[in-house]
Amino acid sequence: MRGLATMAVEAATGEGQGAAARALRRVLSVRWVLYVAGPITMLGAWQYASDAFATKQLFPGPSETFRAFARLVASKQLALDTLASLRRIGLGFAIGSISGFLVGLTAGYVPLVRHLLYPYIHFLRFISAIAWLSMALLWFGTGETGKVALITYTTTFVVMVNVMAGVASIPVNRLRSARCFGATEWQIFAQVVLPSTLGYFFDGARLAMANSFATVVTAEMLAAQSGLGYLILVSRQWLAVDEIFVGIIVLGILGWLTDRVLVSLTDNRFRRHRLRS
């Protein structure tokens, strides 16, 4: 009876001949099995680590976390906080994407604009949104505007830089052939430059979404009365680590979901726009 490890290796590398190796290969070839295998293993490891940890309250296991989750759902607290965060992200992301796209297109295509904006773009994009948080509080108060402004800021820069790279990578012959056909510069902008950069725009949007989540959580921890960041903050103050875990996991799932939505809306439809033909 050969060792289990040898069989597993053979199955994974496709070389084992025995019935067990073939069965294992067939199971592993179903993709979702691999997707799920990781988290299931992690759950097991989590439970084990939490049991082994000295102070139970500081490292709750999956079951305690799930109980906290049920509590928060029942009290409607989780729903309220999630919606608050999503509202801020949604608004900031929408405004930021559009403005980033427009500015990126213009700066990418019109040298005059690019040169004028150059110092702002390459200086500001290293200053994270959170660095501006105090300014945002002073200028906008503690309401929603400040947080939405920060998310707009970070989204604009990420999208802008991506779109500018997209414009720079348009093959020059694409523009030249449009000029041959008598297109005005406006027509070239709308019918050649814009479609060519859509793929880059969506890549930038996906990246910006991740930044938006990070920004909103930090902003909520520092200066808000609602939202998932606020929930995590309050839970820490009460040493309710199980609720912190709930907040973190919900954040991750939300981020994954919004990314999936973005990808499904755009990847197939706009895949061709990114090609060099």
Q: In the complex with another protein, which residue's Cβ is closer, 200 or 245?
A: 200
Closest contact distance (angstroms) between CB of 63 and another protein is: 51
Q: In the complex with another protein, which residue's Cβ is closer, 122 or 271?
A: 271
Q: In the complex with another protein, which residue's Cβ is closer, 165 or 234?
A: 165
Spatial CB neighbours of 131, under 8 Å, sequence gap ≥ 6: none
Q: Does residue 197 contact residue 105 with C-beta atoms inside 8 Å?
A: yes
Closest contact distance (angstroms) between CB of 184 and another protein is: 8
Closest contact distance (angstroms) between CB of 196 and another protein is: 8
Q: Does residue 65 contact residue 242 with C-beta atoms inside 8 Å?
A: yes
Sign of CA dihedral 86, 89, 92, 94: negative
Q: At what angle do helices 241-270 and 62-74 cross, to 10 degrees?
A: 80
Q: In the complex with another protein, which residue's Cβ is closer, 41 or 177?
A: 177
- Other CB atoms within a 10 A radius of the CB of residue 156 amount to 25
Q: In the complex with another protein, which residue's Cβ is closer, 142 or 169?
A: 169
Q: In the complex with another protein, which residue's Cβ is closer, 155 or 197?
A: 197
Q: At what angle do helices 77-109 and 228-237 cross, to 10 degrees?
A: 130
Closest contact distance (angstroms) between CB of 166 and another protein is: 13
Q: In the complex with another protein, which residue's Cβ is closer, 61 or 204?
A: 204
Q: SS3 letters for 143-191?
A: CHHHHHHHHHHHHHHHHHHHHHHHHHCCCHHHHHHHHHCCCCHHHHHHH
- 244-263: b (≥16 Cβ within 10 Å) or e: bbbbeebbeebbeebeeebe
Closest contact distance (angstroms) between CB of 19 and another protein is: 43
Closest contact distance (angstroms) between CB of 192 and another protein is: 7
Closest contact distance (angstroms) between CB of 206 and another protein is: 19
Structure tokens at 110: 């019109």
Contact residues for another protein, defined by CB under 8 A: 171, 173-174, 176-184, 187, 191-192, 195, 270, 272-277
Find tokens 């403005």 and name the residue: 99
